[in-house]
Amino acid sequence: MREFDFVREHEVPGAVKAGSRDAAKFIAGGTNLVDLMKCDVEHPAHIVDINALPLATIERVPGGVRVGGLARLSDVAAHPLIMQNFPAISQALLVTASPQIRNMASVGGNLMQRTRCMYFRELTWTPCNKRNPGSGCSAIEGENRLHAVLGTSDACIATHPSDLAVAVAALDGVLTLRGPAGERKVNATDFHLLPGNTPQIEHDLKHGELIESLFLPDAPHAKRSAYLKIRDRAAYEFALASAAVGLDLNGSTIRSARIAFGGVATKPWRAKFAEAALVGQAATPEVFRRAAEAEMKSAKSYGQNGFKIELMKRTLVRALTDLANVEPALSRFAPAGEPAPRSGGAA
Ligand SMILES: Cc1cc2nc3c(=O)[nH]c(=O)nc-3n(C[C@H](O)[C@H](O)[C@H](O)COP(=O)(O)OP(=O)(O)OC[C@H]3O[C@@H](n4cnc5c(N)ncnc54)[C@H](O)[C@@H]3O)c2cc1C
Ligand code: SF4
């Protein structure tokens, strides 16, 4: 690891000032940054510890719930406001990493984590446009079983690794950012960027800006929401395909739907075509399959990762079918011995 200096800040303005210096980086849980420093992908000259900032609260505010950028993943997952009103968020966090990592990792750090593409982390011999712009992409004709089929470019096909970001994109989360120029708000769906010709630019966060909080708006489709993650092993693994889904049902008719995909795209993928295909339709597996087909029309295989196209469709159909058949916000959280009430149909 290269040399760096370290400062702990207790107030947001001081942190923003310290974080605005050249080659400065914030550190929260450190579970991603330290990893990347050890393999020399990241080499900040100044590290600004933000763990003492007062940004870890989870609270009700008008129209929704606000989650501080420093709230720990385990605290968010277990918070009653999140479990009851945004079950997809809680479920996405409960399948993230391991309990130990969730105790350390923060909301802001999770949204900012970098790709797990192995070429990105292997810097002794492989070209990687994200790590070294203009050097080429080793994955496009290399080992790409875990790579993206949506939102790719000739420069990069790496997936975005966050589970939380997928659920936040589906449920219309809004980030509050604070930097040297003051505060601004960005829709979560606009925060992460497609790679295009500049895969090294991954998000709409300017140097020195902090993710102060995440706002989750109340909505019927947020209350009836879920997250399904398919992976190579049942724990401690990133998604091959995942779906965050929310439904607002009138009887068995879909009033509104919210869908985002993970594990298959270069950014948390809001599935607008799938959502449009559901509105006004009956909540049936046939309709869900048509919605999946509509979204995956633009998917592109790079060889080894071609299986993800069908896997993503099946993941979406299963997630929506399960969701249509449970009461909002109850299914995964019924106490042991008390099975979750079932509506007996799609209503
Ligand atoms: C073995 C392993 C398995 C994992 N599995 C999963 C998984 O299945 N799903 C998943 O989603 N993740 C997974 N992760 C990733 C893990 O969730 C992230 O490492 C973690 O969420 C990062 O949070 P942190 O607070 O530790 O971030 P840090 O490492 O402290 O920071 C990461 C980046 O975010 C920046 N940053 C941190 N906080 C802020 C802020 N408030 N404002 C602006 N910038 C900020 C830092 O400068 C840094 O660039 C896994 C990690 C490991 C090591
Ligand atoms: S997919 Fe992206 S991160 Fe991976 S080698 Fe190619 S450019 Fe680098």
pLDDT digits (tens, 9 = 90+) for 228-265: 999 999 989 999 999 999 999 999 999 999 999 999 99
pLDDT, position 328? 59
pLDDT, position 1? 80
pLDDT, position 336? 36
CA nearest 89: which of 70, 117, 111?
111
pLDDT, position 327? 61
Domain 225-324 CATH assignment equals 3.20.20.140: no
**Segments of the chain assigned to CATH 3.30.390.50:** 225-324
pLDDT, position 37? 96
69 CA closest ligand 1 atom index: 41
Q: Is 110 in the pocket of ligand 2 (CB under 6 A)?
A: no
Rg (CA), the chain: 20
Domain 5-52 CATH assignment equals 3.40.50.970: no
Q: Is 140 in the pocket of ligand 1 (CB under 6 A)?
A: no
CA nearest 324: which of 281, 293, 290, 292?
281
Can you list the residues of the chain whose pLDDT is less than 50? 330-347
Among protein residues, the one with the nearest Cα to ligand 2's atom 6 is 137
**Segments of the chain assigned to CATH 3.30.43.10:** 5-52
Residue 123 vs residues 2, 119, 224, 236: alpha-carbon distances, Å: 15, 7, 44, 24
Q: Is 137 in the pocket of ligand 2 (CB under 6 A)?
A: yes
Q: Is 74 in the pocket of ligand 1 (CB under 6 A)?
A: no
- Report helix, strand or coil for 118: helix
Q: Is 72 in the pocket of ligand 1 (CB under 6 A)?
A: no
What's this model's pTM, rounded to 2 decimal places? 0.95
pLDDT digits (tens, 9 = 90+) for 68-105: 999 999 999 999 999 999 999 999 999 999 999 999 99
